[in-house]
Amino acid sequence: MSPAETASSPPRPSLQRIFLTGLLTLLPVWLTWVVVKFVFLLLSGISAPWVAPLSEQIAHALPGSLDWVQAVWVQNTIALVATVLVILFVGVLSRRVVGQQLLRWFEAVMRRIPLASVVYDSARKLLDILQTQPGSTQRVVLIDFPHRDMKSVGLVTRVIREHGTGRELAAVYVPTTPNPTSGYLEIVPVELLTPTDWSVDQAMSFIISGGAVSPETVPFTRTADRA
């Protein structure tokens, strides 16, 4: 190879760079697998206590099926399917009048239990916030959190007033990444909020993806600060 060809040929990537490229390529696959595995085990674990006795009955009814029916992956799959069917059944039932009446009865029972009522109401309101449709009054904002030079995405859940002064304060729920069902509750003066035109879906995509899925522009600076 001539010196001219050597100078024009691109440099070979180092082993470290090749490893980093492979790692970044496999990382989304690994994260997807972790999430799918977590959801699979979570859903299958709900019905698992009922699947084991059921598999024993099937094994007694079909003697030749003992080995495969009692396999762990078979029982987990049956539990997953059973849980999904129950969730679908509850979803269909909740859309009907009878299901809505049963749901109201269940909520009334939960509210009579001291500790359970607080947990249930809080979880219910949080899920209502996360399921808010675009174009609703639910506001997605940015707040100075954890300090002034940084911003966090928050959902305004309610506007209240300061005792004595009447100053408007916003209760802002700040979801965490990548699990938006956990987060922080901050009370922020309304004038310190940085408004956005994001929908709740856009905010959730931004949070769950760790910022990888986001609008092109972000209103980082408040209008008052620009003035």
The rounded mean pLDDT for the chain is 79
Q: If you count DSSP H runs as helices and E runs as strands, how many of each does the chain have, helices first? A: 8, 5
Burial 169-186 (b: 16+ CB within 10 A, else e): bbebbbbeeeebeebeeb
- Look up the pTM and report it: 0.52
Burial 64-91 (b: 16+ CB within 10 A, else e): eeeeebeeeeebbebbbebbeeeeeeee
Q: What residues in the chain have per-residue pLDDT under 70?
A: 1-13, 63-67, 126, 128-138, 223-227
Of 198, 216, 221, 218, the C-alpha closest to 139 is: 198
**Residue 3, pLDDT score:** 53
**Residue 137, pLDDT score:** 43
Burial of 140 from C-beta contacts in 10 A (0-12 / 13-18 / 19+): buried
**Residue 66, pLDDT score:** 59
Query: pLDDT tens digit string along 14-43?
Result: 788 888 888 878 877 887 788 778 877 777
